[in-house]
Chains A and B, each alone.
Chain A
Amino acid sequence: MSTVAWARRRRALRQGIAEYRRDREGLVGIVVLGLFVLVACSASLLAEAENLRAITADERDYPRWASPGELGPLGTDSLGRPVWDQLVYGSQVSLLVGVAATLIAIVIGTVVGVVGGFFGGWADAALARLTEWFLVIPFLPLAIVLAAVLGPSLRNIVLVIGITSWPVTARLIRSQVLTIKERLYVERARALGASGAHILGRHVLPSVMPLVIANATLTVPVAILSETALAFLGLGDPTRVSWGSMLEDSFSAGALGREAWWWYLPPGLCVIAVVLSFTLVGRALEGVLDPRLRDVHAVGR
């Protein structure tokens, strides 16, 4: 009979995919996102890493401030580096930071939320206080201080963003755990003789996971924006090009005054596109996976 159960799960998955495909915005999101991931993965084929180095002009014969018509698809910057190559390699940093920082935030947030919500008592009180504390402190000042203390490197940027963006997740997961804990089927499991670990593993976590996944896709764009902001403030990794650092470079080199739109517009648009598509995917996933929404569909007649 368990094979039957697996067949049912596969069918549920297929149903989920079918439901996702009905969401047009979600489809657009996933297509755009796929393109960016493809670009990031095949960066070495699409662009030359050599072109990213800030070297003197005599080693290379690219003109400075070249417009798209003059050189390459997107022209060059104030140091004669082609914008296209920066943009392609920048996607790696943005996606990497976004995903890695989200992973940290989600893990911390889920653990804090589940532990607090499920066990309650003083642990919950302490964790709730900590969560509130992190929520109340404005993100940027805290991130700036942390980044300054830890020093500018890609790893530290990920860490800084990760440990500042978990509280929202923690609160969401905690409230979900609290409602699940009160469900009658949890009481039934307890009446069957179940331990806390069983209830956590069999009932609470499976019900929370869809929410975690949907929430993760919604945290990625926040992380990407944070990276952009930190890099724009000059707190990014100086050895790596990211969309945020491109914006910062163009701004400080006076690209706005020179109307060198080909330098600052592409990274800006890319940030918007990635952030938007993650949000669209997250919302579509929420609709498919959120147990509250699903329960309503299942029970309603």
Chain B
Amino acid sequence: MNTTPRTASRPKDLPDFERPPVNEVALSLQFAALEKMKSVHIGLLWARLRSEYPDVSEQGTISPEFETFGTPPQAGSRIKLEQFLTPPMPRYWFEKSGTSDLLQIQQDRIIHNWRKLEDEPIYPRYEAVRDRFKREVDEFVAFLHEEELGELRPNQCEVTYVNLIELADESVHDRLSEITSLWTHRFSEELVEIEFENVSIGLRFKMLESGKPQGRVHVAFQPAVLKSDPSKEAIKLDITARGRPKEETLDSAFAFLDVARRAVVKTFAAVTTPSMHAMWGRTDGTR
């Protein structure tokens, strides 16, 4: 990579945990589709990335997402336009076996994922993931310029934290009330011969700036099991903050990612219980 890394410091007013249950972090920029960029160009790009990412694979594309406001959400799944269009360039995964980092590129998106591995269990923190992503985006922009494939104009930025929450007991799915105060686990006595199994919760929050929406936070609590031990239950807590940068520039896009990360961390602290915060080693003193 060409750019010298510079790791920003963590904002002091953010909730902080010694042992956060984060299992995956993804930073994503969606941009105006680079219609000149074809699969054949990916080989040229890989030549620049190969020392860090020797493994490449093809995946299905991720559909565009747009946060919009002013109309109520509509229920039900939606038809996606690309299902009926000529297949675009696939999404490419660049990775190195046994390491946590994954770079994903498709015609209208670049994503960096950090994934928790048994060999690399320590989350390096947002600032380090962001710095690495910034270097990769800079490299991608230089590649686009040299190959005359167009400009990267971000129109949607996204930060996703996937948390995998386990409790000491193997049974977790019926104990969501210990993890979040959003679920009280109270039923009337009419629930006879009907046994509770599990619950999923979905929430949406608007991210406001001076009272106006600038993005949205999506929260989902869902039951899951560990792949390493399918008998072990967990609660998967996804938090995604997504929105439109103020301008279609990289500076604006990364500024939005910082705002989105802040929203994700604050939302995480807001929707989980103080007893879980203590278990995860909350250190910022705002318990």
Report whether chain A binds chain B.
no
Give residues in A with beta carbon < 8 Å to B.
none
Give residues in B with beta carbon < 8 Å to A.
none
